[in-house]
Amino acid sequence: MMQTIASRSHTIEIVPCDGLAPSFRWVIRRPDGSALRHSPYAFSTEKGARISAFCWTRELSDTAVR
């Protein structure tokens, strides 16, 4: 199951990874739907991936990356 979260001007998707152990990655998308950033590694929890993605969106907003 994929979770999508709208955050100001970006959308965050939390995506489960394939494999035996549950793990999650995030994708930050622009308003047009194109991918802006992907998580550099997998997280063991969905919440951990979400927190990391929010930190990245804050960094992108602070540097005015659209």
In percent, how much of the chain has pLDDT > 90?
A: 55
The rounded mean pLDDT for the chain is 85
**Quick check: helix, strand or coil at residue 66?**
coil
Q: What is the pLDDT of residue 7?
A: 55
Among 48, 46, 50, smallest CA distance to 5 is for 50
Concatenate the DSSP letters of all residues of 19-54 into one string: SSS--EEEEEE-TTS-EEEE-SS-BSSHHHHHHHHH
* Per-residue model confidence as pLDDT tens digits over 37-62: 999 999 999 999 999 999 998 888 77
pLDDT band at 19 (very low <50, low <70, confident <90, very high): confident
